[in-house]
A and B are shown apart, each in its own frame.
Chain A
């Protein structure tokens, strides 16, 4: 998808979240290049002459070691090394510790259109920030039709057919002091093997459609404390119209989950019918989810107590 292309330019100059503290020193013509791989490479071995497995299409991070190696080479050797290095279609190079590459390096980079950056950060710190940003940028993403809220610190994703009352439920939750994140368009990213991060579309930020009212801006009406930009998705609440004779969970002994980007998210199914107070059910579900995170499973505990007392009665009788 065109919009989702990650270019060297927008990624390394404006990261939004973390300041990578980098500046461009050469190869400006290559700044529109696309970053296709979410990995980085330390080119130490390559510079020393070992070109097998050279991941030239990744971001090349030059640490103190690489800089020192280049510095101790004679001009002739250096030219030889750089000629070979830049004969590959290198994506971009970043020097850490504020180490400035020498003129020959910059000339090669300019000639080949390979952007060269310098960061003030040390290699480990820089690498970890960069990997974090790359993970975010390359995270598998899905856009869902739902409503996303932060209820007592739990990211609750409401899913259901249009007209079932997701937006109204979110509005009532906001009124009760919880936070609104996104309505109708929820973008969920898998930023780690077990972590899903949800947020809204930047264009629709804080807006919500309520039938009969039209489009409202939650932040303008309820204030800054009523919204947040993103949150981990920890509970999915499936809202569906009450189906006569359908068996709904009455005990809560079984844990149900909802699959999102191959992660099983705890879920509950809440049947909706007129007059039923859904927001308080969502609030309670969020609190119950917090209890479960602490290892407290009410239904199971009660069941165990009942079984214990039944056993005792049997023994006494």
Chain B
């Protein structure tokens, strides 16, 4: 099991598009990925679940993965959140 904590700094919080980016990243890996905010767990592979956490700027999150590729997925989601979703948003636009 790999687990890391991250604080959301993006002003708009995790709204639909960032949520989709997190889910898309998690879906690349076969392992189970959870997003935890104040004891409430969300399935990182479900967009509704991530949206339902109501993540705002300043929210403290734990990303926890279990299984194949757990380290990679945790790292990439953490860096996505730390970079305020900017890098991936640009690459998403290109797509």
Residue positions of A touching B, CB distance < 8 A: 1-3, 143, 145, 162-163, 183-185, 201, 203-204, 207-209, 215
Evaluate whether A145 and B38 lie within 8 angstroms (CB atoms) in the complex, with A184-B52, A203-B51, A204-B52 already known. Answer: no
Is B51 touching A145 in the complex (CB atoms < 8 A)?
Answer: no
Using CB atoms, name the residue of chain B closest to A2. Answer: B38
Is A209 touching B38 in the complex (CB atoms < 8 A)?
Answer: no
Nearest-CB distance from B39 to chain A (Å)? Answer: 6
| 3 closest A-B pairs by CB | A184-B48, A185-B52, A162-B45
Contacts of B12 in A (CB 8 A): none
Evaluate whether A209 and B52 lie within 8 angstroms (CB atoms) in the complex, with A143-B40, A143-B41, A185-B42 already known. Answer: no
Using CB atoms, name the residue of chain B closest to A1. Answer: B38
Determine which of B16, B39, B41, B49 lies in contact with A184 in the assembled complex, contact meaning CB atoms within 8 Å. B49
- Encode B10-51 as 1/0 by CB contact (under 8 A) with A: 000000100000000000000000000011111101111101
Contacts of A3 in B (CB 8 A): 38
Nearest-CB distance from A158 to chain B (Å)? Answer: 13
| Number of A-B pairs, beta carbon distance below 8 Å | 41
Is B43 touching A184 in the complex (CB atoms < 8 A)?
Answer: yes
How far apart sit A209 and B42, CA to CA, in the bound complex (Å)?
Answer: 15
Contacts of A207 in B (CB 8 A): 48
Determine which of B16, B46, B51, B54 lies in contact with A162 in the assembled complex, contact meaning CB atoms within 8 Å. B46
Contacts of A185 in B (CB 8 A): 42, 48-49, 52
Contacts of B46 in A (CB 8 A): 145, 162, 184, 209
Contacts of B43 in A (CB 8 A): 145, 162, 184
Is B52 touching A1 in the complex (CB atoms < 8 A)?
Answer: no
Determine which of B39, B47, B49, B54 lies in contact with A145 in the assembled complex, contact meaning CB atoms within 8 Å. B49
Using CB atoms, name the residue of chain B closest to A207. Answer: B48
Nearest-CB distance from A210 to chain B (Å)? Answer: 10
A-B contact pairs, 17 of them (CB 8 A): A1-B40, A3-B38, A143-B40, A145-B46, A162-B43, A162-B45, A163-B45, A184-B43, A184-B48, A184-B49, A185-B48, A203-B52, A204-B48, A208-B48, A209-B46, A209-B47, A215-B16
A185-B52, A207-B48 are known; give 4 further A-B pairs, CB within 8 A: A1-B38, A145-B42, A162-B46, A203-B54
How far apart sit A204 and B46, CA to CA, in the bound complex (Å)?
Answer: 13
Determine which of B40, B45, B51 lies in contact with A204 in the assembled complex, contact meaning CB atoms within 8 Å. B51
How far apart sit A163 and B42, CA to CA, in the bound complex (Å)?
Answer: 15
Is A1 touching B48 in the complex (CB atoms < 8 A)?
Answer: no
Nearest-CB distance from A191 to chain B (Å)? Answer: 19
How far apart sit A147 and B46, CA to CA, in the bound complex (Å)?
Answer: 12
How far apart sit A244 and B52, CA to CA, in the bound complex (Å)?
Answer: 35
- Encode B48-61 as 1/0 by CB contact (under 8 A) with A: 11011010000000
How far apart sit A1 and B54, CA to CA, in the bound complex (Å)?
Answer: 14
How far apart sit A143 and B50, CA to CA, in the bound complex (Å)?
Answer: 12
Contacts of B16 in A (CB 8 A): 215
